[in-house]
Amino acid sequence: MPSPVVRVAAVAVAGVLSCAGCSSAPEPAAPSSSTPEASSSAAASPTPSPSLAPDAVAVSPGGVTTKVGAPAESTEDDYFQACTAARTWMDQRGGDPKTQIEPYLKMLQSAPTVGPGDFDKKWSELSAGQQSAVIVAVEAAADALCG
């Protein structure tokens, strides 16, 4: 019979091995080579928030869309550019980037111009999946996870 220390170590190793692929940051989905459009497949595809019904939208008291109940849909390049644009904007303002998520989203959602932060489209022209991807990219920017 193994000693208690050996049993605890074995349980700890088993726990680590069972979560070998776990991460708190969303990982880009690997493109499928089954279609010619695979290079533009969704790069950031986390599932919608469990508390948000599919196709639902969460709006802050300030009127800013903060969550979209659709899987994020973007190319890897679009996601990277959106994340980088958000991080640059946040860095220019200083302070805690997490407190700047909503102001940045508000700026994107009301801006008359477009840029890399919103896939070069007005917010209203983005699909629900693209809006979700922009939000994911902005949240990643606040966590300095642009890659």
With H, G, I as helix, E, B as strand and everything else as coil, classify residue 60: coil
For residues 35 and 43, is the Cβ–Cβ distance under 8 A?
A: no
Contacts of 63 (CB under 8 A, 6+ apart): 106
- Residues 122-142 have a mean pLDDT of 97
- Say what the pLDDT of residue 80 is: 97
- Give the CA distances from residue 110 to residues 41, 73, 84, 104, in Å, rounded to whole numbers and listed in that order: 27, 21, 20, 10
- Say what the pLDDT of residue 54 is: 81
The gap between the terminal CA atoms of the chain, to the nearest Å, is 48
Q: What is the pTM of this model?
A: 0.66
- 27-79 tens-digit pLDDT: 444 333 333 333 333 344 344 444 678 879 999 999 999 999 999 999 999 99
